[in-house]
Amino acid sequence: MAKVGVSVLSADFSKVKEWLPQLEKAKPEMIQWDVMDNKYVPNSGVPIEEIKKLRPKTKLFFDVHLMVQQPEKYFNQLKGYGADSLTFHVETSNNPKKTIKEIRGLGLGAGIAVNNKISAKKISPFLSKVDLALVMTVEAGFGGQNFIEKNLSKVKLLREAIDKEGLNCEIQVDGGINAETGKKSVEAGADILIAGSYVIKSGDIPKRVQTLKNL
C-alpha cells in the first residue's frame, strides 16, 4: 500500500469546515502545505498563516514543501506554526548539508526536493541525511498540471540508490497524481503519493485517498 499526502494548494480555506472533517476521516499520512515566495516560483502558494490556523484543529502530520529562495528564513516560523517536516529544493540552498542540519536542529523531519528540470543526482549525496526525497512530476508552483511521466526515471534512480545503501529515506512524488499516475509512480518506486486537485476537488475525499492507498 502507498502512503498518501494531500496537498491543500487548491483547497478553499473559506470552506475549511467542509473539507477538514473529510480529510480527518480519510486519514492520509500527511497534509502537504505548499509555501511559495513568488520568486523561486511565480506564485504565492498557501498563505503561511493558514498553517497556524489549522494546526489546533487537527492532529494530522504537517509536511511543508518550501518552494522559496533562502528556505532557512522560514524554518523557525514554520516550527512555531506547527510544522512536522520541512522539505526544500536542493538548488535553493548554498549548503544543503547545513540546511538539513538546521531543520534537524529544530526537531523536525527533513526532506530534499528535485524540481522538473533538476537532475536526481543533485540530491543523491544527501539521501542518507533526510527522511524523504521529493520528486516533482510537474513544474513546481501550480496545482492541476499534467503529470510528466519521464520524471519517473528519477524515482527509479533514487529507489536504486536508497535500496543499495539500505537508507531510511522515503520517496515522495508530487504533481499530477491520480489513480493512473499514482500506480505508475508506485511501480517506479515511490513510497508516498502527494495528491491535490484529485482529492480536494473530488467531492469524496476519503474515497480518493483510499484509492491511492490501495495502489
d(CA 29, CA 110): 16
CB 164 within 8 A of CB 142: no
Q: What amino acid is encoded at 134 in this protein?
A: L
CB 84 within 8 A of CB 108: yes
Q: Using the structure block, give the residue that is written with the C-alpha cell 480518493.
A: 208
Q: Using the structure block, give the residue that is written with the C-alpha cell 496545482.
A: 143
Q: Which residues are catalytic?
A: 34, 174
Beta bridge partners of 64: 33, 86
Which has the closest alpha carbon to 174: 46, 24, 34, 47?
34
Which has the closest alpha carbon to 10: 176, 173, 137?
176
Both ends of the chain: CA-CA distance in Å? 6
144 φ, ψ (degrees, to nearest 5): 75, 15
